[in-house]
Amino acid sequence: MHTINKKLTKTAWAGAIAQPAQEFPPTQLQILSGQIPEGLRGTLYRNGPARLERGVTSVGHWFDGDGAILAVHFTDVGATAVYRYVQTEGYKEEAAANQLLYGNYGMTAPGPIWNQWLKPIKNAANTSVLALPNKLLALWEVGNPYTLDLQTLNTLGQDDLGDLKNNLPYSAHPKIDPKTGEIFNFGVSVGLNGILNIYKSDSTGKIRQKTSFQLEGFPLVHDFVLAGQYLVFFVPPVRLNILQVLTGFNSYSDGLTWKPQIGTQILVFDRESLSLVSRGETEPWFQWHFANGYIDAGGSVIVDIARYEDFQTNQYLKEVATGETHTAAMSQLWRAHLNPQTGQVTSIQPLLERFCEFPVVPQQYVGQASPHTYLSVFRQGTDISQEILNAIARFDHKTDTLTEANMGENRYPSEPIYTPNAHNPDQGWIITVIYDGNTDSSEVWVFDSDHLDEEPICRLGLPGVIPHSFHGTWKAA
């Protein structure tokens, strides 16, 4: 049984991160209620920080935890799951020493100052996953991805995808064009001024084209938008004091400063040539994630954003790693209208009053207008400075209505993942991994995507606790 550390008992959600997660081998899952739909065949993959301490030392930020992958395979004979840490070089070295040795996003390397240069930062491989035809990529922000076996989750090593030389960064938010299968991604190289590297790959993940663009200062860019023929970046007014980081006086997290006077910078690139089409500026905000982007009938780029008014979210996420939060960090779903030829925002307004995060659309609508956006939300009445996201919902863009799946008290779902019905392309399911703070256990819940407010179609018990994770994906059989 997962023993809750006494320091983390003030909130129910903290039980999921009270101690490092335990791996488990391929295990047949027990059906707790309902049944697995016949058209649900494939694999759910999820990635997140599963170890927030080593020896007697805790990490400095939730983003610093070692990544572990959950795979849930749905077949004709039921569902099996496997859970494995990504065996990065840093993970293996720290496991052998039983202590933290490296710096990371929210911490500098322990020990004397020269450790900052000898062991500057560890690839935690903890943010997202990309399922390719013959391999799974564990994605992070600052370095190459790690390759894993799709079935067993055995770590096979770092992968340069054919052209990520000198450990070029490959971000955690690639966009796959549902019509062409092309994969677009980016990474920001560290320097006094950041370098935005943009990549275009074929459906196997092999990079076929890339370009680079010098940014102003070193901003925090986590996500971008594929919108029809354009790749759109909204660069928030957060800048890193890189000299403090390079000299070991600050971690990346502590070296970031909110500078609203700069405003949000907009960069629009052509998806075919990867050349800059336009650049512009608009009012300041911060975002981790976009829901989607597309081109409307008038030629405007429409972008849906989980928008924060400032950068308090970074402090909140730092507190999550301790099991106790005090900072309110609130994002809402907003829509921006952008002229792609000038880079100017022509209008921006909120779509939804509820606080939300992790907005996603079904894969078949990436880069195109989607009728629905699925997101993680807070239950009504939640104290958002003390809690983490505890419900999922669907926003209908035609009717402006929100349909919520209420998991009940002390239950915490992961980001909702849409999975299409193999027998009916117009119908699908939403899969989420639940941490139940009432029983200190984890489950997989499957909902009808059109009826989130009804009971789940199926609930599956997992053999161990899965800590709160960041991002996942679905790979059809």
The model's confidence at residue 166, banded by pLDDT at 50, 70 and 90, is: confident
pLDDT in tens, 36-71: 999 999 999 999 999 999 999 999 999 999 999 999
Per-residue confidence band for 190, with pLDDT thresholds at 50, 70 and 90: confident
pLDDT per residue as tens digits for the range 347-367: 999 999 899 999 999 999 999
Q: For position 4, what pLDDT does the model report?
A: 36
Looking at the predicted structure, is the pLDDT value of residue 423 above 80? Answer: yes
Give the H/E segment covering residue 97. Answer: helix 89-97
- Per-residue confidence band for 192, with pLDDT thresholds at 50, 70 and 90: confident
Alpha helices (H) along 221-291: 242-246, 252-255
Residue 317: strand, helix, or coil: helix
Tokens of 289: 């994630």
Q: Report phi then psi at 235, rounded to 5.
A: -95, 110
Q: What pLDDT does 118 receive?
A: 66
Give the rounded percent of residues in the chain with a pLDDT score beyond 70. Answer: 97
User: Distance between CA 262 and CA 264 in Å, rounded?
Assistant: 7
d(CA 87, CA 149): 12
What per-residue confidence (pLDDT) applies to 57? 93
Length of the chain: 477
Domain 22-476, second-level architecture: 7 Propeller (2.130)
∠ CA 307-364-267, rounded to 5°: 40
pLDDT score recorded for residue 332: 97
Per-residue pLDDT tens over the stretch 339-348: 999 999 999 9
pLDDT class of 384 with cuts at 50, 70, 90: confident
Asked if the model's pLDDT at residue 97 lies above 70, the reply is yes
Cβ proximity of 442 and 83 under 8 Å = no
Q: Is the pLDDT of residue 143 over 50?
A: yes
Return the sign of the alpha-carbon dihedral for residues 351, 178, 169, 16: positive
Average pLDDT for the chain: 94
Neighbours of 9 (CB within 10 A): 13
Kindly tell me if the per-residue pLDDT of 116 is higher than 80. Answer: no
pLDDT of residue 5: 42
* % of the chain with per-residue pLDDT over 90: 87
Please list, residue by residue across 340-366, b when 16 or more beta carbons sit within 10 angstroms of its beta carbon and e when fewer do. beebebeebeebbebbbbbbbbbbebb
State how far the Cα of 466 lies from the Cα of 50, in Å rounded to an integer.
8
The stretch 317-342 carries a mean pLDDT of 96
Residue 167 clears pLDDT 90, i.e. is over it: no
**CA 106 to centroid of chain Cα atoms:** 17
Q: Output the CA angle 444-88-150, nearest 5 degrees.
A: 45
For residues 248-261, give the mean pLDDT.
Answer: 93
Residue 8 has pLDDT above 60, yes or no: no
